[in-house]
Amino acid sequence: MPLNLGNDVDASSRIILTEPRGSTAEVLLFGGQVISWKNEKREELLFVSSKAQYKPPKTIRGGIPVCFPQFGNFGGLERHGFARNRFWSYDDDPSPLDPANKQSSVDLILKSTEDDLKIWPHSFELRVRITISPGKLTVIPRVRNVDTKGFSFMFALRNYLYVSDISEVRVEGLETLDYLDNLMGKERFTEQADAITFDGEVDRVYLNTPTKIAVIDHERKRTIELRKEGMPNAVVWNPWDKKAKSIADMGDEDYKTMLCVDSGAIEPPVLLKPCEEWKGRQELSIVSSSYCSGQLDPRKVLYGD
């Protein structure tokens, strides 16, 4: 168990991960959710809503919620599934992963309960390992089928990224790809732009995406690089002003400094036979850049080693 523990006013445990160069991450047992990731300069890299409520079972808007066994309204369960509003436990046996550094990593587990089985009748074990290292935050999710029959599920890590100004941000790596537009009844389109920029609400599930995506923040001269394995979808979401005002736990101006770029296994869902395990991996890393002055070639971020 990590040495750095805190307690919120609602008595839910908060795990604080540290690494020698000074970056930190905070993880809640409620939802198994990362709610803060700061670099060695103590700059926050994840967005949390100014109206976020830390009152279980209310979910926390921001950080990196775990969406399972459903993403969004792509099914009949509650939006984004139930894993994000359950209390998780420490996983004392994260096999077959190597033992983790207890200061910079934590292993959590969520097992199906009788209440869960009433709304989703499949026995499962959902594990996540969260690790920080200089300039990088890694999340390794695993789902094991401990039922006697097969089941299918969706999974996503909803990455609320903190940006300087959404109108000055661009996302690269998704050009020419097909996507499902949630603003158009999940109709399928093909991305025509060289990069995704923002001047209104966007809510898209990109299909068959590459392992690397770059989020370029011109004002901060910084690129957030997303690398993923086992999660072929990428979701891009910003509610813009009108939708933001309709979201109870989001400030009216919050949309200006946030962008969700998610890793997911959504379309198609994952099918697991009894005793099988699915594994994904996501790495968020910060690349300091002078891109806005033309000194960083984003193709090196996307396609370099």
Averaged pLDDT, 213-237: 96
Asked whether the beta carbons of 286 and 39 are under 8 A apart, the reply is yes
* The predicted structure's pLDDT at residue 7: 57
Averaged pLDDT, 245-259: 96
Give the pLDDT band of residue 103 (cuts 50, 70, 90).
Answer: confident
* The predicted structure's pLDDT at residue 132: 96
Domains by residue range for the chain, with CATH? 14-303 (2.70.98.10)
Is residue 302 classed as helix, strand or coil in its secondary structure? Answer: helix
As given in the structure block, the two tokens for residue 276 are 């099988």
- The percent of residues above 90 in pLDDT, for the chain, comes to 80
Average pLDDT of the chain to the nearest whole number: 91
Please state, in angstroms and as integers, the Cα–Cα distance from residue 242 to each residue in 159, 164, 166, 184, 259, following that order: 21, 20, 15, 17, 16
Averaged pLDDT, 173-192: 97
* The predicted structure's pLDDT at residue 234: 98
Whether the predicted pLDDT of 166 surpasses 50? yes
* The predicted structure's pLDDT at residue 55: 82
